Amino acid sequence: MQAIKPEHVTRTRILDAAEALFMQHGFEGTSMRQLTSRAGVNLAAVNYHFGSKDALIQAVFRRRLDPMNTARIAELAKLEASGSLSPETIIRAFVGPSLRLVEDAKGGGRNFTRLLGRTYTEPSKTLRALIGQMYAPTMERYKTALERALPQIPKDELVWRMHFMFGTLAYTLAATDTVQLIAGCKPEDRYDAQLLEERLTAFLLAGLLAPLKTSMRKAA
Amino acid sequence: MQAIKPEHVTRTRILDAAEALFMQHGFEGTSMRQLTSRAGVNLAAVNYHFGSKDALIQAVFRRRLDPMNTARIAELAKLEASGSLSPETIIRAFVGPSLRLVEDAKGGGRNFTRLLGRTYTEPSKTLRALIGQMYAPTMERYKTALERALPQIPKDELVWRMHFMFGTLAYTLAATDTVQLIAGCKPEDRYDAQLLEERLTAFLLAGLLAPLKTSMRKAA
DNA sequence: GTCTATAAATTGATAGAC
DNA sequence: GTCTATCAATTTATAGAC
């Protein structure tokens, strides 16, 4: 049996530490010294394995985002194959892979989803563009699928509704403990993943299907 | 006629510069040197006027958040007085003041809304708590109002739907240019505030009114 | 109230031994 | 691949002249 490849263990330790610290202090707020100290590796290891701090940031996102978007596309393809493309199944296919990342607490997925929520607003233009590239194929597929499943919604209106959907999901992933802001709801109130998915899906589905006002009916 | 008070002009210049730079580079990513240089004031001025960088951050939020939440409460009170409390009017009262901030481009409100979107996930626990305090009275009022306007929705379900609403708004304010991520939609495509408000309201109203699944029907 | 000057610490990155 | 040692730049913050 093959042992764990030693050339990857340091890399992984660095990625895990970076994920946690970037989430907690931001990119610019995390120093290489904090990072390598937490990872239990030498200060020079980041530059050896990744080249620079910026390259490390990109690697942190690639590690999680690529599999997540692959899963999203795979689920959509499965739906298309089985001919069961409804607005609700499309939403579930989109939302599911990211919620499953939240559940992967011990794998560090929870850290990542919170980090991910920040990226849409925080980071440098170059990082935002890079993340946009990672999402692009997925978004294109889902846009097409939703246009077909919701032919009654004008395309430019649908773009905005997808934007709202994306925002709701991003915020939910990033700020789960902010429910506290609204009610006296304890943050770790036995977080129920299944129930959250139901709630989120119901909300998003209704939003996507919302009745059209006359002001929205200008053609694309 | 009284001239502009000189003791406030430096303060304001600093707040404006901070708002823009915090949005662009984050709190920890913005140095006092960048900040004072952009504001055209001396490096020592921040510590003189605000005491520290942290206190400056708080002041940046207070300047916009307090009037915005005051406006939200005022609009809700007006609705209550006129007896026209419907889910839709409540949503508009909540959403309106923040969208009007977006429109206030030359006053710097646009910068602030983008900054605001970041706060729910990014900042230190202390800043998040502080912002939570600024929001608390408003959220309490709106929670009560929505519970009354939507008696058919269980309270714990409504908390989540408010959370989703809050997230959609936060994301919309923060990442308006991310619509680009979804479609080939130019970011500055003659941003139409009135139309956005209609789209957002329709989406949120439908989400709040979404039909209940049996799994959501456990009592509070 | 505003300035210069500077202290004291920390930063990302690299060179070179092992 | 990992280490120590260190560079050059930048950071927050303050002391003290004006």
At B216, is the secondary structure helix, strand, or coil? helix
Instruction: Kindly report the CATH number that applies to the domain delimited by A63-219.
Output: 1.10.357.10
In order along its 220 residues, chain A shows pLDDT tens digits of 445 555 689 999 999 999 999 988 888 889 999 999 999 999 999 999 999 999 999 999 999 999 999 999 999 999 999 999 999 999 999 999 999 988 887 778 888 988 887 777 665 677 888 888 899 999 999 999 999 999 999 999 999 999 999 999 988 888 756 545 565 555 555 567 889 999 999 999 999 999 998 878 765 4
- Residue B116 has a pLDDT of 82
- Residue B3 has a pLDDT of 47
User: Across the interface, which of A159, A168, A185 has its CB nearest the CB of B164?
Assistant: A168
User: Which positions in strand C are less than 7 Å from the protein's CB atoms?
Assistant: 1-6, 10-16
- As a whole number of angstroms, the distance between CA B46 and CA B11 comes to 8
Those of residues 188-207 in B touching chain A at CB distance below 8 A are 194-196, 198-200, 202-207
Q: Which amino acid appears at position A143 of this protein?
A: K
Q: Residue B213 and residue A202: Cβ atoms within 8 Å?
A: yes
Helices (H), chain A: 6-25, 32-39, 45-49, 53-82, 87-103, 109-119, 125-149, 155-174, 179-182, 193-208
Residue recorded with tokens 């905005």: A160
- As a whole number of angstroms, the distance between CA A25 and CA B125 comes to 10
- Residue A54 has a pLDDT of 93
Instruction: Kindly report the CATH number that applies to the domain delimited by A1-51.
Output: 1.10.10.60
For B13-49, write each residue's pLDDT tens digit: 999 999 988 888 888 888 899 999 999 999 999 999 9
Q: Residue A122 and residue B181: Cβ atoms within 8 Å?
A: no
User: Across the interface, which of A122, A171, A202 has its CB nearest the CB of B170?
Assistant: A171
Residues of chain B with pLDDT under 50: 1-3, 179, 220
Those of residues 49-108 in B touching chain A at CB distance below 8 A are none
Q: Which nucleotide is nearest to A40 (CA to C1')?
A: D2
Among A27, A98, A122, A141, most B C-beta atoms within 10 A, so best to mutate, is A122
Q: Where do the structural domains in chain A lie, given as residue ranges?
A: 1-51, 63-219
